[in-house]
């Protein structure tokens, strides 16, 4: 994790506040594997029951954009997806690779219920989880040059759940109770 990245620092503080066991991973170096290297996850999170979560934090503003408000930005790189999926396969049963979209709220609207918002350094954050397997099934190319992909907003909203839903649960996919 990069402690100078406010999204990752906020996510770490969130895990500490929720009293969840985790390991912050040194992502300065890639792990060498046969045939190349893999990007490391930002965190290994072990809720009290269930899976080991391999978490890559994706920091975004909610909404983003200076002139036009854009909600639900969720892009990622091919490398992130490939690396997390490879780690999940290598670790095996009980591991779930996922993105934690850390949304810094810039207006009143929120992607999670108010009681699940988290304040860190005078900013408010909402954390959404999306399993990498779900992301891969629904992603669309965004930029070939930058090797980025994104999920259509409707698909993202269907797949994303508040990160709180994964804490203290087993490895089954939490379901979103209501649209926000």
Give me the half-sphere count of Cα atoms (radius 13 Å) on the Cβ side of residue 128.
Answer: 29
pLDDT at 176 exceeding the cut of 70: no
What's the pLDDT at 68? 61
CA distances from 21 to 13, 53, 125, 168 (A): 12, 11, 20, 11
| Higher pLDDT, residue 63 or 65 | 63
91 inside domain: yes
CATH code of residue 49 = 3.40.1350.10
The two counts, helices (H) then strands (E), for the chain are: 4, 12
**Tokens encoding 123:** 């900013």
| Higher pLDDT, residue 31 or 22 | 22
pLDDT at 175 exceeding the cut of 50: no
174 inside domain: no
State mean pLDDT over 21-44: 81
**In whole numbers, what is the pLDDT of the chain averaged over residues?**
86
Domain with 120, as residue range(s), is 6-166
- CA dist., res. 58 & res. 56, Å (int): 6
């Amino acid at each position: 994790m990069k402690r100078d990245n406010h999204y990752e620092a906020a996510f770490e503080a969130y895990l500490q506040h929720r009293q969840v066991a985790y390991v912050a991973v040194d992502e300065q170096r890639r792990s060498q594997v046969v045939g190349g290297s893999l990007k490391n996850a930002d965190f290994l999170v072990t809720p009290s029951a269930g899976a080991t979560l391999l978490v890559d934090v994706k920091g975004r503003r909610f909404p983003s954009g200076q002139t036009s408000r854009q909600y639900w930005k969720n892009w990622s790189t091919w490398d992130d997806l490939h690396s997390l999926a490879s780690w999940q396969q290598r670790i095996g049963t009980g591991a779930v690779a996922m993105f934690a979209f850390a949304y810094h709220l810039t207006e009143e609207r929120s992607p999670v219920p108010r009681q699940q918002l988290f304040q860190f350094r005078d900013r408010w954050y909402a954390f959404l989880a999306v399993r990498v397997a779900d992301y891969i099934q629904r992603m669309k190319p965004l930029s070939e040059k930058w090797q980025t992909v994104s999920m259509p907003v409707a698909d993202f909203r269907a797949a994303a759940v508040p990160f709180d839903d994964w804490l203290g649960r087993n490895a089954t996919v939490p379901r979103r109770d209501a649209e926000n």
